[in-house]
Amino acid sequence: MDVNYVPTTCPYCGTGCGFNLVVKDKKVVGVAPWHRNPVNEGKLCPKGTYAYEFINHEDRLTKPLIKKDGKFVEASWEDAYKLISDKFKGYKPNEIACLASSRVSNEDNYLMQKFARAVLKTPNIDHCAHLCHPSTVAGLAAVFGSGAMTNNIGDISKAKCVFIIGSNTFEQHPLIGRQVILAKKNGAKVISVDPRNTATAKQSDLFLQFIPGTDVSILNGMMQEIIKNGWENKDFIKARTKDFEKLKEVVMKPEYSLDNVAKVTGVPTESIKLAAEMFAKSEATTILYSTDITQQVTGVDSVKSIANIQMLTGNIGKPGSGVNALHGENNVQGACDMGCLPNVFSGYQQVANPDAHKKMADAWGCGIAEGKPGYTVAEIINVLADKPGELKALYIMGENPILSDPDSQHVEKGLKNLEFLVVQDIFLSETAAFADVVLPAACFAEKDGTQTNTERRVQRWNKAQDPPGEAKADWQIFCELAKQMGAEKSFPYKNAEEVFVEIAKVTPYYSGMTYARLKPEGIQWPCPTSDSTGTPILHTEKFSTPDGLGVFTPVEWKAAAEVPDAEYPYVFTTGSVIFHLHSGTMTRRSYTLDNEVPTGWIEINPEDAKSLGIKNNEVVKVSTRRGDVQVPAKVTKDIKKGVMFMPFHFSECAANTLTINVMDPATKSTESKTCAVKVEKIPEGA
């Protein structure tokens, strides 16, 4: 028997845990701990533990598929490439858009944006980061000059106060949750701000159960209380920041008095007061936040408020502190770093900057898309649905917008308006079903590459088995397609490492990295030179703004886009559970995970259930202005009265049938988190 252990990193969440794949007779059969990995020290959550189960599932795509008369027919790679090339050549650059993926490697993503810009010459390249964390990038860039998580994962255990807002850390980033437990053991106090009494909230010393969408109000209220009591860090404010007076003008307004904030947020004044005191008086306070802050039209405001309160209390640039935006997917940081965004090349070099444009055109040795930002993912879907004919072809790698984008009917309408859709995935997803051509991709265990976790750590994937059937690594598909389209000179790579060499060459943050240097535990960017060991904590001496000072950027609280009314009387919010990831293409094909949580539900407070006459487990009808679904009720005190919650993983009760597609004008992120909902009993016999 031939058994090997191949070290790799987890394909699920942005924590980026390391583990070994157990390979027996050339097939992956298990996961074994990798004790020395600095992120997780050998520990894993259930998704990591069972990350091998979907790999050899019978549903894996093994051959290209071409749709003929409404049905998929297996095809050769040659025929698939020819069809795609012929079709793409028939469209103008602005008629094509590409969606890259937070789930695939840096090498895969880098080549997709290069293929979009250098072969298709289209500026329209984006990915789901615009559904997830754009407000982090925009909000933190305004205050600190840079948008990444400031400290490292291990550093969280050094905090004396951990303030968690809009992150269900214990379910969504469980191995970061472990650091919170370690901090507690070291004497830290934990404060959780959430509308639901989540697994995370249950670990906290102080739980502020508030109304969704009132984050800015609570943060401004806490800042007023801190300033009133003189708890602000005067030395830090003086030495490292500017515009403190502007902050005071806003947060000292009567609207943000404790009494008012209590009314807006539904949290007792005493709890807000105590939170402000615990926060400001601790030696080191860290903030953890995630998408419930960012996936709202008011997302940038909340992120700015978080940055403001950390500067006010001097909790930046030192151990146990920081603004720790927990990025969601395994490689969402990397997909952004690689330039899979409509406004930047890799390393956040602006496409509209003529110097950056020339640098990339020279490096790639060809003409590239004009230097103006293209459409974001939400704009792409809106244009498809509402302006038929403007965009004609779409190439999606590793995303499943039918289940994951808000307002599914709107997404479906958009995809149906396309003349030509290519989907490159490892499974025939709900979105792939709409494609004209489906290309079978190799999964994380079947290819070499790198991915970048939430603490900016670039780590390796190592090939452990061959892909099933004729499936190929995503980066390889782009090389072959580029060749078919006559652009082989710009895509000369023989392996993933050669792609990484080019990434390092053109991407300042990655310049000092090589595959050899990434062994064994990865490197955190910025790593500008070959002798740099990377950067665990950002902004230790100065911020990344032009003058090095942090800029207080006060914001006023604004209500969510759609608030409850007589017809839709409850606040609706959505999210994830520990056993499943997103549209569930992988977790629902992992026997153990699927067995734990086989379908969805809606969480309803007992008082609301009583007034609606609904019992636990009863199937109910849930509707919004967009659509309706039928789903079992979970009656639980863990959710605030007046608020309803659904996980969004399940196609049979898809939460995004209900959500609203409104955009933040600044960041183009959508409001997949909050809208107004109605819940009804289904009459017997109906």
Ligand X SMILES: Nc1nc2c(c(=O)[nH]1)N[C@H]1C(S)=C(S)[C@@H](COP(=O)(O)OP(=O)(O)OC[C@H]3O[C@@H](n4cnc5c(=O)[nH]c(N)nc54)[C@H](O)[C@@H]3O)O[C@H]1N2
Choose, by CB under 6 A, the member of 39, 309, 441, 622 that binds ligand X. Answer: 441
**Rounded to 5 degrees, what angle do the CA atoms 324, 328, 334 make?**
90
562 binds ligand X (CB under 6 A): no
328 binds Mo ion (CB under 5 A): yes
Q: Which stretch binds Mo ion (CB under 5 A): 261-269, 324-332, 359-367, 483-491?
A: 324-332
132 binds Mo ion (CB under 5 A): yes
Peptide bond into 123 cis (omega under 30): no
436 binds ligand X (CB under 6 A): no
196 binds ligand X (CB under 6 A): yes
Counting Cα atoms < 13 Å in the Cβ hemisphere of 636 gives 17
Number of residues interacting with Mo ion: please give it, by CB under 5 A: 2
427 binds ligand SF4 (CB under 6 A): no
Choose, by CB under 6 A, the member of 7, 16, 575, 600 that binds ligand SF4. Answer: 16
Choose, by CB under 6 A, the member of 171, 502, 608, 664 that binds ligand X. Answer: 171
* Identity of the residue, 250 or 287, whose beta carbon is nearer to ligand X in the bound complex: 287
Cβ density class 422-457: b for 16+ within 10 Å, e for less:
bbbbbbbbbbbebbbbbbbbbbbbbbbbbbbbbbbb
Cβ density class 231-259: b for 16+ within 10 Å, e for less:
bbbeebbeebbebbeebbebbbeebbbbe
300 binds ligand SF4 (CB under 6 A): no
Q: Closest separation between CB of residue 174 and Mo ion, Å? A: 15
17 binds ligand SF4 (CB under 6 A): yes
Q: Closest separation between CB of residue 2 and ligand X, Å? A: 25
Site for ligand X in 258-297 (CB under 6 A): 290-293
554 binds ligand X (CB under 6 A): no
Of ligand SF4, Mo ion, ligand X, none, which one sits near residue 217, judging by CB under 5 to 8 A according to partner kind? none
* Identity of the residue, 171 or 671, whose beta carbon is nearer to ligand SF4 in the bound complex: 171
Report residue 373 as tokens: 């930002």
The DSSP-derived string for 126-182 is: E-THHHHSHHHHHHHHHHHS--S--S-GGGGGG-SEEEEES--HHHHSHHHHHHHHH
Of ligand SF4, Mo ion, ligand X, none, which one sits near residue 175, judging by CB under 5 to 8 A according to partner kind? ligand SF4
Site for ligand SF4 in 29-58 (CB under 6 A): 40, 44-45, 47-48
Report residue 470 as tokens: 């004729």
Burial (CB < 10 A; 0-12, 13-18, 19+), residue 567, is exposed
**Residue tagged 């789930």 (tokens):** 103
Q: Which stretch binds ligand X (CB under 6 A): 134-142, 195-203, 367-375, 617-625?
A: 195-203
Residue 398: C-alpha distances to residues 37, 50, 103, 470, 510 (Å): 27, 20, 7, 17, 24
104 binds ligand X (CB under 6 A): yes
Residue in 274, 305, 284 with CA at minimum distance from that of residue 165:
305
What are the contacts of 2-7 at 24+ separation with CB within 8 A?
Answer: 2/26, 4/464, 5/32, 6/445, 6/462, 6/463, 6/464, 7/34, 7/460, 7/462, 7/520
Residue ranges that bind ligand X, judged by CB under 6 A: 13, 101-104, 128, 131-132, 165-168, 171-173, 193-196, 198, 212-213, 215, 290-293, 328-329, 397-401, 404, 424-427, 429, 441, 443-444, 474, 573-576, 578, 580-583, 585-586, 648, 655-656, 659, 672-674
Residue ranges that bind ligand SF4, judged by CB under 6 A: 10, 12-13, 15-17, 40, 44-45, 47-48, 173-175
Residue ranges that bind Mo ion, judged by CB under 5 A: 132, 328
